[in-house]
Structure 1
Amino acid sequence: ENSGIKYVRMDGSCPSDMRQQLIDKFNQDDSISVFLLSTKACGVGINLTAADTCIIHDLDFNPFNDLQAEDRCHRIGQKRPVTIYKLVARGTVDEDIYRMQERKSKMNAAIMDTNTAAENKKQRKQILQSAIEGYKSPTKKSVTGDDAIEID
């Protein structure tokens, strides 16, 4: 407060009926440059389009909870590029959590890539089978002129 920086704060102790008021105040008042919030209490269901910087200082064991918090800034209506910072002190448990988050994220990406590749292969196979079936039993169409081809 002594720094002269205007901010709003929301955490688990904030009554639910006040939360939207704080969000609106931050999004609409250009003089408020900082929104302090708990990712656990406030990481879901809010839009912070006025924010272009997200600083996460309390890493979660589940990297998707942090991604959810980051996504509060990446919303429809966001007009500026968003920068995300994760504060990790060397030699602390945060460093271990950060490494674990990276491993989990890479594992998820590999699984998703595998599923996507398998799904694409399945779709290609279905398309080819459909094309082959079409050649084996073509439907009779009445075509005249240069485009007419007869298949027995």
Structure 2
Amino acid sequence: MIDDQGNQLDDGIVKTVVFSQWTSMLDRVEDALEAAGIQYDRLDGTMKRDDRTRAMEALKHDPACEVLLVSLKAGGVGLNLTAAQRVYLMDPYWNPAVENQAVDRIHRLGQTRPVTTVKLIIENSIEARLLEVQRKKTELANMTLGQNFSKADMLQRRMEELNQLFGS
């Protein structure tokens, strides 16, 4: 990810938003960005409204601010982050709609450039299993539109998801 920050467009730096559901993961990314000399800002649930606004404005207007670190829950709703062209999802969230909503902050009306989204997944890990749960949830949502499933069907599906996530 940090190596990618060296990529520039003709009109300057490619602005990046990094989402994680864990603020401790954002802390680690923050350390790596500092070590690499990359200027960033941060937006998470502990911040006051004015500080959140300042962080978004820095991404939009400060040419030196290349990266905005955002906690998934704090940054998934009501933000316009169209200044960015690259998105990293550091860890999968069990509900794909939450991730989609976060990425949509960059794909909002006013985005005039292509956006690259990168999901970081470790093979044979809990993250890989979560990715499969996300896929099945999306598939189920697509199937259930216009159909009625019983509570027993839904409970069975949830049990299968838990077995897949924590079982073999």
Structure-2-length-normalised TM-score: 0.63
- Residue of structure 1 equivalent to 2:110: 77
2: CA distance, partners of 1:83 / 1:108: 25
Deviation digits for residues 100-152 of structure 1, max 9, x if unmatched? 001111222233487xxxxxxxxxxxxxxxxxxxxxxxxxxxxxxxxxxxxxx
Q: Between Structure 1 and Structure 2, how many residues are aligned? A: 115
For the residue of structure 2 that corresponds to 1:22, the secondary structure is: helix
Give the CA deviation at 1:25: 1.4
Give the CA deviation at 1:30: 2.5
Residue 101 (structure 1) aligned with residue 134 (structure 2)? yes
Map 1:45-64; keep pairs closer than 5 Å: 45-64=78-97
Bigger RCO of structures 1 and 2 (CA < 8 A, at least 6 apart): 2
- Residue of structure 2 equivalent to 1:122: none
Give the CA deviation at 1:42: 1.7
Which consecutive unaligned segments of at least 5 residues does structure 1 have?
115-152
For the residue of structure 2 that corresponds to 1:46, the secondary structure is: coil
Detail structure 1 runs of 4+ shifted over 4 Å in the superposition.
Answer: none
Aligned-residue RMSD, C-alpha: 1.8
Letter in 1 for 2:133: M
- Residue of structure 2 equivalent to 1:148: none
Which consecutive unaligned segments of at least 5 residues does structure 2 have?
1-33, 148-168
1: CA distance, partners of 2:145 / 2:84: 30
Residue 35 (structure 1) aligned with residue 80 (structure 2)? no
Give the CA deviation at 1:18: 1.2
For the residue of structure 2 that corresponds to 1:79, the secondary structure is: coil
1: CA distance, partners of 2:117 / 2:38: 20
2: CA distance, partners of 1:41 / 1:53: 18
- Residue of structure 1 equivalent to 2:122: 89
Structure-1-length-normalised TM-score: 0.69
Deviation digits for residues 20-39 of structure 1, max 9, x if unmatched? 11111111122211111111
